Amino acid sequence: MLSFESHYRVCYGDTDRMGYMYYGNYPRLYEIGRTDMIRSIWKSYREIEDSGLILPVRTMNVVYHKPALYDELLVIKTLIKDVPKVKFRMYSEIYNANGDLINEAEVVLGFMSASTGKPARVPDEFVEILTNLYPFED
């Protein structure tokens, strides 16, 4: 399993009147985590898109445990538990400053051709990086 951490401070514009981060902002944090992770092990999303691939979200399942609070520093933990074939399943866990799990999600992306909009194979280079560098259980 591959695990990667990003950090994010909840800004005023993220919150509602109660000082809680608005529930619709959490998917942006999942994206921050996954783009940081992919950039660190392979290449930036811009480079991926410039190569003719896009990665749209197909499904997202979210569990809200506790609210994130204004000015709180969050840890976004992004996990890849298996090597993608067609669907690219990623997991996000968000922790507050006390180390409490406040939110978690499973996000499934698909590799698609930017020109045709049809499913595309996961690039061999990406599969090789994941297979060679990180231990995954079969």
pLDDT at 138 over 80: no
- Domains for the chain: give ranges and CATH numbers: 2-131 (3.10.129.10)
The whole-number pLDDT of residue 14 equals 97
Bridge pairing between strands 101-110 and 2-9: unpaired
pLDDT band, residue 134 (cuts 50/70/90) = confident
List pLDDT tens digits, range 85-107. Answer: 889 999 999 999 999 999 999 99
- pTM comes to 0.93
Condensed to tens digits (0 to 9), the pLDDT of residues 109-127 reads: 999 999 999 999 999 999 9
Per the CB < 8 A criterion, the answer to whether 119 and 40 are in contact is no
